Chain A
Amino acid sequence: MSIICALALLLCVKSDPCMSANTSKLIEHTYDSLTEKMPSGKVSFIYFGSHVNQAIELFLEQLELSADALEDYGISVAKVNCSRENVEKFCTGGKVMKKAYLFRGSEVLRSFDIDTVFDVNAIVSHVLFTVLFNEVRYVHTVTDLLNVERAAKGKIDIVFGHIQVLGLPEHRALMEAAFVYGTKYQFVLTTGGPVLKHVGVEEPSSLQTGLWFLHCKDISSRSEPCPYTALRKPLTIVNIHTFLQLMEAPLVTETRQDPPDVDVIHRHLNIPVLFLFSQTLTQDLDRATAESLAWRLRGEAGVVLIHRESPDVKTSLQYNAAYQLAEEVLKYFTLKSIDEAVKLFREKILQEEEEIEEEEEEDAEEQSVALDALDDEVAESVYRDRDLMLDLEPIRELTSDTFNSAVTQNGLTVVLFYLKWDAVSMAFIQSCAEVSDALEDVSDIELASVDCGEWTDLCGDQKITSFPAVVIYRPGDPAVTYRGMLGAESLHRFLLLSQVSSPLSLSSHSDLLSFMEGEIYDKHSSLSPVRVLGLFRSAQDPGITVFVEASRILRGEVLMGIFTNEEAEKWVVEHSVKLPAMLVSRGPGIQREAYSLNFPSPERLVTHIQHVLSDPFPELTIENLPWYLERGKPLLLLFVGGDENSGNAGCLREIGNLLKTGQLESYVPCWIHLGRTPAGSSVLETYLGVVPPLPALVLSRLGADGEVFHFPPERPLLADTILQWLREVENGREQPAGMIPNEELRPSVGFYDFLAIMDREVPGYAAQRIPRGKSGAREGRKLQPQQEEQRGAHEGQAPGASLSPGTPHQHSEL
């Protein structure tokens, strides 16, 4: 009866329906309830925490699950919120607390790092392991086990479990079984080692889990070892329970009933049963046969001896045996030998196991498919084209022999340095080919490439350490490394703009005018309508070198001009700026801006120009996002849809108005058009968890705490409502709608641990050598000459070994 209760209990633990579905068993203690509860002497497992990050959140979920599981063992599970309740000694250790404690009353039995008790299985197994610390014996060597055995002989049977890694479901199953059966059997646990050889495991390191039943109770003699039976199934609660039932069942059941009527426990447990028919004459012999069979099949099948003389037995005399596999029909047969019977069963059982193994093999195959699948999007997208011959004709392949002449031939030679095995290089080379095609009509620009896998000297001479690298060669000028986006559009624009010398020396007012109005280099206006003009009174102005150098740096990005003349003054009078000055035109018809030029270094000037030119309210695109992110301010981000009539323009105008008031200084106001930048929609979805109606205004504190706020969609998007909302957010009166994680992504497939494979397949192969003691070394030395002699004798030619007078005749083979 107790066994059935135990089973019921065990099964309850495993199966969900038994759990009370809604009410959580996890107690949340306050300081008072904790101190009140403590002295009761009950065992409780408590986590003290304050700040909750993702890892802690996961842990709390698992903690909740374990509360249900541990309740069955009379152990309560609780958490204490340290940010509200300050419990001395336990509420310490910084913001994120990673310790949980097991108490008996107020005494700490053990503390656990939450990395150890990472899930419900680990919590249950470790907690039970601690509670049962005195009952479950832990052994490592054979001697340890023999000591336990000696004490148990004649008294109690032993359940010997092996768990290589603690905290896994197998460990939990074993500990739960120990809790239930602890009084009935002596439980012994090992985590591996030579002790396993005692129960017939040849390679202890390759076995992860195992369970053996040591039949010690019926052994009276101290010299006799306890026979053991191995559990040949995975370590689960149900399997352990079934196995222990079988160990309790008599070795051979004797009956006078016909097989279909025999009631043995095996049948209830779906274990195969073997029936042997005995005759009165041969009864003793038959019993012996049955017993020896039963020993060999113990744990896998039950053996029943049927006394044929009984009138209830109706089986035909032509059979002397029968068997019944789980849930199958009874089959009669004629048994000839014990081995045959064992073989029969093993085959039947093996068949099932093989099926399982096959599945495992499939798993292994699947695993290798996963290992081999490229998870790098660039590598995979390039690899998928491996059957395509890329048309790289427009890009001239340079070699060490042709390089020097090639880069001096054209006004502009663009050289791509690449490596064939670098997927980024191979993706980019496609863009280069597109650019080359697009520049077909443009004379004086040539695209070329150098394979640095082959022309290693050349790439070394050009100081290329990063791939792909694009370097622009202009005869007479130092080579310039392209630092823009590795895409066709960016490169194309850069190259076209690079054609114009920078700064462009302007000599007359009409030149100046046509430069500023975009008439010169008209074809470039579509690329960049912006013009920057440096105005200097005399050629002696020291600011000229700074401006010229800055122009060189910005070549390809901005069209720069320079005008050095006393008349330059005319151009700035309307702007209340003194010379030297910089005049910026954003396109024909737009008000020009003027800035005074007083910069100590070209780099500072470059930064200034980039700042002046940057858009105060940009549309974020894939290409320009980095420019705005580097400011490190929160993004005030308006997502607008592709639909025309959704009032996008109005919203944009509202924010534009707000911008003019200067009240958005601490933000980067920007917008994303989801039609042109579809990737934005998944950003929005990640921020809020759902796609809200558009347009949607979001404040993303990317550079700071990562909190995301969503402008309430029901409120009108107007300048003052936005401002009001921003103030509320600043004052902490708005709830964040989401959180941007601060954890690095990791690829889903980890590395292939060769060391672990070596340790498993060839133990000792990868292990450090243990320094030999003196005796060992001496032995080694002794051995050597012997080996040499043996070698000589073996080869048959060593005169010293085999040819001294009187040695017996030895055949020598050449």
Chain B
Amino acid sequence: MEPTQSLLLFLSLLTHALCVPGEHHGHNDSRRHDYCVLGAGPAGLQMGYFLSRSQRDYIILERNSGPGSFFNVYPRHRKLISINKIYTGRRNREFNLRHDWNSLLSDRSDLLFQQISRDLYPPADAFPRYLSMFVKELGLRVKYGVDIGKIRASSIEKAGNRCYILTDQHGNDYTCSVLLVSTGLWVPQQVQFVGSDLVEGYESISVDPEAYKDQAVLILGKGNSAFETAQSILGRASRVHLYSPSPVRLAWQTHYVGDLRAVNNELLDTYQLKSLDGLVEGGLEDIAIVRRGRGGGRKRRGGRRKTGETKEDERKEQLYLTLAELLDGRRGNESSKVKAENLPGYHNDNFSLRQPYDRVIRCLGFRFNFSIFDGSARPPHSGGARGRLPGVTAWYEGRGTPNLFVLGTAAHSRDYRMSAGGFVHGFRYTVRAVHKVLEQRYHNNAWPATKLPTTQLLSWILKRVNEASGPYQMFGVLGDVILLRGSYCEYLEEFPLQALPQFSALSGHTISEQGFLVLLMQYGLNRTDTLGPGRAESEWTRAWKSNFLHPVLYYYHKLPTERDMRQRPAGWPLPRPQAVHHMIEDFLTEWDQPVSHSQPLRRFLEHCLQTDLRAFYAETCFRLSLTNRKPPLFCRQGYLKKQGIVGNHHLWQNAREAGLMPNHQETVSHNSEDVPFPEYLKHAGATVASAMNFDL
């Protein structure tokens, strides 16, 4: 938390102002809430679930009559490209969420998307149905038909203690101490150029392939919507060209699910096999689309012609792509005035896009709706993503709009083109993280932490690495933080990494002088040929060169500062730590092997904790406890607490053969017959052996 902000929060706590959650329960005002969630899409409902579970005063406002209305329209061709993999061969719920990209998080094991659809790529209609089920089963408080048109910060505000006032279509005001904006992105992104009015939008094009029969189509954009559109008309259209500034980025190469998914990439095939379709790069701002009659321009009569034919030709006008600068500054777009020299093909006879098109379609994605925010409540435009998204802090609070958080796709500016924060399977975890921040800030409930004996840390890390879905989906963004406290440690799950400098304020936990570890998943930094030889590493000592998703642990003595974060090594999610450990990428994503995974990790932890973390049989602990005033931690936390691991002859033999346990049998005679000891010595109940024979 920034210092000013925390000061203001402190002031607000002192003054007991109205806006602080939980302060106005006596008012019995149905339009006054601690938490208002704007939009009943997946992010809004996900937050609704967490608020409901922690029994907060919240309301979800939705202008449509049902949840997830975006999905009633989009994607236009009605196929979701989020993976719905039901058969993973595993029954671990947490693990299975790694391959379930549509479900929301809840403690109900049956509330999964697979209840609605069993298709790997499900139909879009299934999603609103799933969301409805989610609302109904969990009894979330959603108010439908409330169309918020204006949002302003309260006038009585004292900055840090501001509330937000939302006005709906009937002029009703909703007063919210904390506003959670989960409105998604639904305003189509447009670029202004000469003739942009001649362009159809993805939001309104016909989805009937027959409507494109034998037509030449130019699509602006090279994202998933552009390719999805192209794919649907491929069998009917004559030529399909895709035009945008940057080349195609393939999701399977970039590991970013927002890039072109292979599900949609049939056009790449027809392009590379030279079957009339193609991709072209070029800027959008300086182009122009002009209308021109077929065979328009100056005509030279070459013999007799029937007049009727000419007329028919002229009626059918076609669209040309040209450059604004070739139009001699003319703003108009009258077809009769467009001459051949206004077209690039006149100057450059093999210009790629010289042929006319029957349609031009814009598939440029969507932008955040900033217009409903009054100046007092409007978050700034993000630096990245062409300013289409609101700028937010690392804990998803609007920059400059305290108590207003942005959730879901709209919050994607944090990890745009990096991770999965713009997608259901990613933001369901960031929403959970934001909820933990809310609980700490407004209700003083520290970030949940599991206390573990230090000897259990290795197993626990391996458990998380092998099943955790949050860090797996939100790689490089969310990571587990492990606070080292000597003989025990505290394990916090899925903290937003970029907020580490504010860790103490956001989580309510402090860092001890033993430091802390961060566990996250990351893809390799030096991307090579994704399918080429040498793409995978198998030697654990070369783990830092792993290209695929793999766990990485960072060890710090103290929290990094904002400055450390800013100056972190190029391409790194975190600043240079005191020590780092990469776990070698694994083909099966199972990091549980003793030699390649477990032991190197243990040695790293030993280095960070400055202690021996090996396990020892009771016999060894017996020996070490009598011959060392500081026996190993494992003996102290197990054996000396009367919970040593005994083992059996077979295992001891193995350890002896490996030279890890001394062989006492050689030095001492094997005679174990009972000596006639005085009778009273035998009475110690706890030490008398049981009658069974345990030899293997």
Contact = CB atoms under 8 A, between A and B. Distances in A.
Most A Cβ at <10 Å: residue of B94, B577, B626, B661: B626
A111 B162 CA distance: 61
B545 to A, nearest CB: 9
Given A431-B648, A768-B575, A590 B690 contact: no
A806 B287 CA distance: 18
Contacts of A625: 622, 625-626
B654 A489 contact: no
Contact of A526 (B279, B602, B690): B690
Contacts of A384: 654, 657-658
A660 to B, nearest CB: 10
Interface in A494-508: 496
B627 A687 contact: yes
Contacts of B685: 528-530, 558, 586, 613
Interface in B272-316: 278-283, 286-287
Contacts of B664: 678-679, 681-682
Interface residues on B, range: 35 or more
B584 to A, nearest CB: 11
23 contacts: A374-B658, A376-B614, A377-B614, A380-B660, A384-B658, A400-B91, A421-B594, A453-B467, A465-B450, A467-B459, A488-B694, A529-B688, A590-B683, A625-B626, A626-B625, A641-B668, A644-B671, A674-B668, A686-B627, A691-B667, A747-B614, A755-B579, A758-B544
A466 B627 contact: no
Given A430-B651, A438-B692, A454-B92, 6 more contacts: A376-B614, A485-B646, A627-B642, A642-B671, A642-B672, A797-B281
B32 interface: no
A385 B654 contact: yes
Contacts of B280: 795, 797, 814
Given A754-B581, A800-B286, A683 B626 contact: yes
Contacts of B381: none
Interface in A747-768: 747, 749-755, 757-758, 765-768
B603 A795 contact: no
Given A675-B672, A804-B323, A377 B459 contact: no
A805 B606 CA distance: 69
A423 B463 contact: no
A380 B626 contact: no
Contact of A649 (B325, B452, B600, B676): B676
A434 B96 CA distance: 34
Nearest to B462: A421
Contact of A486 (B643, B654, B683, B686): B643
Interface string A684-702: 0011000100000000101
A755 B664 CA distance: 42
B3 to A, nearest CB: 21
B273 to A, nearest CB: 13
B356 interface: no
Given A619-B681, A642-B671, A486 B623 contact: no
A682 B687 contact: no
Interface in B585-614: 592-595, 597-600, 602-604, 606-607, 611-612, 614
Contact of B687 (A379, A455, A621, A807): A621
Interface stretch (B126-134, B223-231, B345-353): B345-353
Interface string B500-529: 000000000000000000000000000000
Interface stretch (A154-162, A573-581, A735-743): A735-743
Nearest to A523: B691
A812 B92 CA distance: 54
A716 B411 CA distance: 84
Interface string B325-355: 1100000000000000000100110111100
A805 B669 CA distance: 103
Contacts of A422: 459, 462
Contact of A626 (B614, B617, B642, B648): B642
B28 interface: no
B282 A745 contact: no
Most A Cβ at <10 Å: residue of B603, B607, B686, B692: B686
A776 to B, nearest CB: 14
A375 B613 CA distance: 11
Contacts of A770: 567
B281 A795 contact: yes
Given A377-B661, A488-B648, A526-B691, A747 B681 contact: no
B143 interface: no
B65 interface: no
A771 interface: yes
Contact of B627 (A485, A626, A740, A752): A740
Contacts of B598: 379, 421
Contacts of A706: 629
B647 A427 contact: yes
Contacts of B271: 814
A648 B674 CA distance: 12
B92 A453 contact: yes
Contact of A678 (B278, B599, B667): B667
A204 interface: no
Interface in A438-486: 438, 452-457, 465-467, 483-486
A812 B581 CA distance: 48
Contact of A754 (B286, B544, B611, B620): B544
A489 B694 CA distance: 8
A359 B472 CA distance: 43
A313 interface: no
Given A681-B667, A752-B600, A769 B570 contact: yes
A399 interface: yes
A681 B668 contact: yes
Contacts of B30: none
A261 interface: no
A143 interface: no
Given A379-B598, A771-B567, A453 B624 contact: no
B615 A379 contact: yes
B370 interface: no
B655 interface: yes
A673 B670 CA distance: 12
Nearest to A799: B323
Contacts of B592: 420-421, 453
Nearest to A625: B622
B112 interface: no
Interface in A611-647: 613-615, 617-619, 621-627, 629-630, 635, 640-644
Contacts of A798: 281-283
B541 A814 contact: no
Interface in B624-648: 624-630, 632, 638-648
A709 to B, nearest CB: 15
Interface string A214-247: 0000000000000000000000000000000000
B14 interface: no
A153 interface: no
A679 to B, nearest CB: 5
Closest 3 CB pairs of A and B: A487-B646, A678-B664, A615-B684
A765 B570 CA distance: 7
A381 B655 contact: yes
Contacts of B279: 814
